[in-house]
Amino acid sequence: MSGHSKWATTKHKKAAIDAKRGKMFAKLIKNIEVAARMGGGDPTGNPTLYDAIQKAKKSSVPNDNIDRAVKRGSGAEVGGADYQTIMYEGYGPGGVAMLIECLTDNKNRAAMEVRTAMSRNGGSLADPGSVSFLFHRKGVVVVPVEQEARSVSEDDVLEATLEAGADEVNDLGGALEVVSEPGDLVAVRSALQAAGIDYDSAEASFVPDNKVELEEDGAAKLFKLVDVLEDLDDVQNIFANHEVSDEVMAALDE
């Protein structure tokens, strides 16, 4: 997952299952292919491609797979699919607003699968525009607290990125999230690199203006829906305006 916290509170719950890993690899490779098609195959001149490649490398996608995806996307190698980005809007359990971003070569399949997943797991799709106004497009960089040589604090990250355009730094527990305007994303990422601070991902995301606090039952149902949606090949990102307390997360972990 990518974007605003990207369900960071649930990440530690997910087992590293081979099938999940394979799906994740496929989605990361698809991102690279589309980025190369949109902006060319040179990552130095295509920041979106650069960030897609970095994220794939962080997730241990083999370099050969990355290289082939760049070649397919840039047209240097045949075989790339014609992917389209589609954003579905809806509500999950507990009235949580959700944006479901798909990258697909078959819009009918994507729509049917997302609709089925939502309706079977306590969610419902909504009309275009009826949910998206609750979110704003932002640049989001996720920085692990534990770096190779040291630990970094919120102050370290804020000091490194403030002049580059960082609006805020949020503690995700084990990671820090740097939020900026989308146009400042590359400058913020570059400022972190210049300061010797490693990062896990840097991408444009949808950040909610307000959040819905979930109790244990609602959180369990929402996380189940997210798992089902993430399992769909066409779903790339899920953004939602939920908030779950540490106490509720601890209860769900038991």
At residue 192, what are phi and psi to the nearest 5 degrees? -65, -45
171 shares a domain with 64: no
Q: Is residue 79 part of a domain?
A: no
pLDDT at residue 252, as a whole number: 81
Q: Is residue 236 part of a domain?
A: yes
Q: Give me the CATH number covering residue 158.
A: 3.30.70.980
pLDDT tens digits for range 118-173: 999 999 999 999 999 999 999 999 999 998 888 999 999 999 999 999 999 998 88
pLDDT at residue 23, as a whole number: 85
d(CA 24, CA 98): 20
Query: Between vectors from CA 31 to CA 177 and to CA 119, what angle results, nearest 5°?
Result: 80
Q: Which tokens in the block code for residue 191? A: 């400022």
pLDDT at residue 222, as a whole number: 93
67 shares a domain with 100: no
* Residue at a domain's end among 45, 74, 103: 74
Task: State the DSSP code for 151.
Answer: B
Alpha helices of the chain — where are they, by DSSP H?
Answer: 8-11, 18-39, 47-58, 63-74, 107-120, 154-161, 185-194, 216-230, 246-253
d(CA 185, CA 218): 33
59 shares a domain with 155: no
Tally of structural domains, the chain = 3
148 shares a domain with 34: no
Q: Which tokens in the block code for residue 132? A: 């998206």
d(CA 10, CA 96): 16
d(CA 229, CA 117): 6
Helices (H) and strands (E) in the chain, counts: 9, 10
Q: Give me the CATH number covering residue 53.
A: 1.10.10.200
Specify the residue for token string 């991102």.
Answer: 31
239 shares a domain with 128: yes
105 shares a domain with 228: yes
Q: Which residues pair with 138 in a beta bridge?
A: 205
Q: Is residue 50 part of a domain?
A: yes
194 shares a domain with 92: no
180 shares a domain with 162: yes
d(CA 105, CA 35): 15
218 shares a domain with 93: yes
| Pair 81, 68: CB distance under 8 Å | no
154 shares a domain with 198: yes
223 shares a domain with 104: yes
pLDDT at residue 18, as a whole number: 64
Specify the residue for token string 């908030």.
Answer: 243
Residues of the chain with pLDDT under 50: 1-7, 9, 12-13, 15-16
* Residue at a domain's end among 55, 74, 93: 74
At residue 172, what are phi and psi to the nearest 5 degrees? -100, 0
For 248, the domain range is: 84-133+210-253
147 shares a domain with 204: yes
In the chain, what is the straight-line distance between the N-terminal and C-terminal CA atoms, in Å? 24
Q: Which tokens in the block code for residue 238? A: 């899920």
Q: Is residue 237 part of a domain?
A: yes
